[in-house]
Structure 1
Amino acid sequence: MPPLPMPSAWAGPLPEAAPPSDMALFQLPTGTYETRAVFAFRGGSFRDKRPFAATSVLVQHPKGDLLIDAGFGSQVDAHMQALPRIERAPHQLGHTVSEQFEASGYDRSRLRGVLVTHSHWDHVSGLDDLRLPIWINEGELQYAGHDKGGRVFREISVDHKIHQYAFKDGPYLGFSSSYDVYDDGSVVVVPAGGHTTGSVITFVTLPGGRRYAFIGDLTWQLDAIVRRSERPLMMRMLADTDPKLVREDMLRMIALAGVMRIVPSHDVSAYDGIPRLLD
């Protein structure tokens, strides 16, 4: 099938942002699991085995730090076993977020919580080792509470405080509503339901103007954005709650690819250039 139509590149002004000078961004890779490209995007090769990243992102901000997703935790083997057999994949656990905090001497009292792009196991496994509030919107909380894809989240989140946020701010880069975390435009979350009911995209603007879009599982690999290639039909039906919404948001992100760095959660190479907390 042909690629998605090429949308017009974003030509309008970018939203105003005033990130503080001491704001910073770090990646915390916690491991990988193996998936063939043929299952990740249309046109992918069966012979192309991809290491899918399980990486958390740390936003350091003077008003309090925030993690985007939690990566793999120390109990990832048990979490993997909780999945249907067809969804299990060879995986490799690196250092958990908690271990990286310990090794780097990071001050955990700075953390406000973990903002999850969505509640699937490979984004929340590391919550087991982090006694932090979980930042989640109402739509995703409902999905996590009832859908089979939220099973691991339901087990892990029992001992965590839930910080429920709402999209109380106005339109943002073509999305109908948004949530400005720090009220300075540096971290803005938008609803991107389609993969799960309450999936989100998190836009981050750093001092100096560099911009990132952490798109969760809107696509699994950056190839999908570059090639304008959706997930194969079978995977769309199995993995997405609303493939039409996923397609619409993909087109929005393709239009923005020229003005910011797009980071699908599971593309190892998409994190290139973001410093590691632990080197």
Structure 2
Amino acid sequence: MTIAPPDFWSGPLPAAAPPEDMALHRLPTGTYRTRAAFAVTGGAFRDVREFAATAVLISHPGGDLLIDAGFGAGVAEHVRMLARFERAPFTLGRTAAQQLEDVGHDRARLRGVLVTHTHWDHVSGLDSLRVPIWITGEERRYAATDSHGAVFRSVSKGLEMHEYGFDGPAHLGFPASSDVHGDGSVVVVPAGGHTHGSVVVFVTLPTGERYAFIGDLTWQSEGITRGAQRPWLMRRVADVDAATVRLGLQRVVALSRVMRIVPAHDLHAYDSIPLLATRQTRAGA
């Protein structure tokens, strides 16, 4: 099943004044495997997809943030906490915490992890980061009781919760917003449906390039390129409100001609974002 063809965004884009030393980097922490037939409507059973578990570092003079946390050191234990049918073969790389250490990142600059939602493959790495969690009240309540919040409840114990709301205006087709730095460079909007408090994070770079990190509105790029939803069974299992997911997906597909749309689990959606360089590379070795 595909969504209706969108009316592509043709109006002006929201004003943004990102500082010149703002930057974006990807921190791939591993992958897990699933059949395309379970990932996207029209996917082939013989097509095996490597789902990304990638954190994204937003460096900003007002303080750095990670979008999601990827896999943590305890990911094997976290997978065992899932229902048996949800478990998948996985490969763990270096955690986000290890990659930050590799480049000598000043942890005092890291304000926290802004989670797109609290499913295991987005929050496992909190076990290694141990920094504040940026989360909406609605998502915090969801994670406190839903069976899919078990890993989050485990890895978030003892961590500070930075709960935020949406007191800003409508933004790029979404009804409300939260401007993290007040300069339009990082704007969060509510995009529930996959979970009750899922969000989309819009990032504007000094170059003028724009990104939308859409979490799990769709798992793969076909959700953007041809409007393909999750298969019916997976919508029943994975989404709390499939109709609301469909609405959010329509909104981001409409933006796909004016910015890069990044589904959290599509490996190649991150290709335009540089890796976090090693200390040796940064020193010119």
Give the shorter-chain TM-score range. over 0.9
Give the match for residue 40 of structure 2.
Answer: 41
Work out the CA distance in 2 between the residues paired with 1:81 and 1:277: 30
Work out the CA distance in 2 between the residues paired with 1:261 and 1:149: 29
Give the match's secondary structure for 1:46.
coil
Give the match's secondary structure for 1:31.
strand
Matched letter for residue 204 of structure 2:
T
Q: How does 1:1-279 map to 2 (within 5 A)?
A: 1=1, 3-278=2-277
Post-superposition CA distance 1:164-203 (Å, at most 9, x none): 0010101001111000000000000000000000000000
Deviating 4+ runs (over 3 angstroms): none
Give the match's secondary structure for 2:157.
helix
Higher alpha-carbon deviation: 4-13 or 50-59: 4-13
Gaps of 5+ in 2: 279-285
What's the offset of the Cα at 1:224?
1.3
Question: Is 1:172–1:190's contact at 8 Å kept on the other side of the alignment?
Answer: yes
Gaps of 5+ in 1: none
Work out the CA distance in 1 between the residues paired with 2:124 and 2:197: 18
Matched letter for residue 190 of structure 1:
V
Work out the CA distance in 2 between the residues paired with 1:193 and 1:45: 28
Post-superposition CA distance 1:24-48 (Å, at most 9, x none): 0000000000011111111011111
Question: Is 1:37–1:45's contact at 8 Å kept on the other side of the alignment?
Answer: yes
Give the match's secondary structure for 1:11.
coil
Work out the CA distance in 2 between the residues paired with 1:219 and 1:7: 16
Question: Is 1:28–1:278's contact at 8 Å kept on the other side of the alignment?
Answer: no
Aligned residues: 278
What's the offset of the Cα at 1:19?
0.2
Post-superposition CA distance 1:213-264 (Å, at most 9, x none): 0000010011111111111110000000000000011111111000000000
Work out the CA distance in 1 between the residues paired with 2:95 and 2:3: 37
Give the match's secondary structure for 1:149.
helix
Give the match's secondary structure for 1:251.
helix
Give the match's secondary structure for 1:143.
helix
What's the offset of the Cα at 1:278?
3.7
Work out the CA distance in 1 between the residues paired with 2:81 and 2:29: 19
Percent of matched pairs sharing the same residue: 61
